[in-house]
Chains A and B, each alone.
Chain A
Amino acid sequence: EVKLVQSGAEVKKPGASVKISCKVSGYTFPDSYIHWLKQAPGKGPEWMGFVDPDDGETKIAEKLQGRVTITADTSTDTAYLVLSSLTSDDSAVYYCARGLEQLSRLDYWGQGTQVTVSS
């Protein structure tokens, strides 16, 4: 059974950084991409970027370049999202999801991680 399990909720102050993990199981980690998405309350998901665990290649959404880092550790089958210089606009639920390609449907999703940015 394919599973993506994310780390727990985070509360951060403006200007800080947050790191979210996504541990996968049930398939061969390097064989698929891990995408990260943001979902603000009442909105559709917004794509942030992906990592190819096989070679570490990443692509980050243009508006987030410079603030987002996505990595993958094949020794632990875990992907990571780091979002820096947080503002209140970053308060949202963040999801990791599996995609078979760089441009892909997303067939399995993590449970989501709530990030709250508040002073």
Chain B
Amino acid sequence: EIVLTQSPVTLSLSPGETATLSCRASESVGNSFIVWYQQKPGQAPRLLIYGPFGRATGIPDRFSGSGSGTDFTLTISRLEPEDFAVYYCQQFDTSPLTFGQGTRLEIK
């Protein structure tokens, strides 16, 4: 199965800054098959970014995804207080679906 490794484990930033979160795959994944989720405490994961340019309904353009092959990035510009949460990447190029272990974005 494809293993997804996210880094850093924790990212401490201030509102207004830009967050760069990494997701590295153990083998090549088509860039249409990596997605990103946001999870807040006590809530289910929420789909944020899919494919090379897709944003889920209601997701602001401060969130963007990029990457190819084995290296993918979620960028969050102009951090807002509500952006501080845990973020997961997921691949659906190959069965089974797999997720990274998450990056916790915390307020500095």
Let me know if A61 and B44 touch, CB within 8 A.
no
Contact B47 A44 (CB under 8 A): no
In the complex the two chains form, what is the Cα distance from A16 to B46 in whole Å? 31
Q: What residues of B have a CB within 8 angstroms of the CB of A110 in the complex?
A: 44
Could you tell me if B47 and A106 are in contact, using CB atoms closer than 8 angstroms? yes
Q: Tell yes or no: B90 within 8 A of A by CB.
A: yes
A interface residues (Cβ-Cβ under 8 A, vs B): 35, 43-47, 59, 61-62, 95, 97, 101-112
Q: List 12 A-B contacts (CB under 8 A).
A: A44-B88, A45-B45, A45-B90, A103-B93, A103-B94, A103-B95, A106-B37, A106-B47, A106-B90, A107-B56, A108-B47, A109-B46
B45 and A105 form a contact (CB under 8 A): no
In the complex, chain B residues whose CB is within 8 Å of the CB of A106: 37, 45, 47, 90
Q: Give Cα A41 to B28, complex, Å.
A: 29
In Å, the complex CA distance between A104 and B99 comes to 12
Taking Cβ atoms with an 8 Å cutoff, the residues of B that contact A are 33, 35, 37, 43-47, 50, 56, 88, 90, 92-102
Contact B44–A59 (Cβ < 8 Å): no
**A7–B44 alpha-carbon span in the complex (Å):** 14
Q: Is the interface of B mostly helix, strand, loop or mixed?
A: loop
User: How far in angstroms is the closest Cβ of chain A from B40?
Assistant: 12
Q: Which of B47, B94, B102 contacts A107 (CB 8 A)?
A: B47
Q: How far is the CB of A48 from chain B (nearest CB, A)?
A: 9
Would you call A105 and B88 a contact (CB within 8 A)? no
By a CB distance below 8 angstroms, the chain B residues around A107 are: 47, 56
Residue of A nearest to B56 (CB): A107
**Cβ–Cβ < 8 Å partners of B43 in chain A:** 111
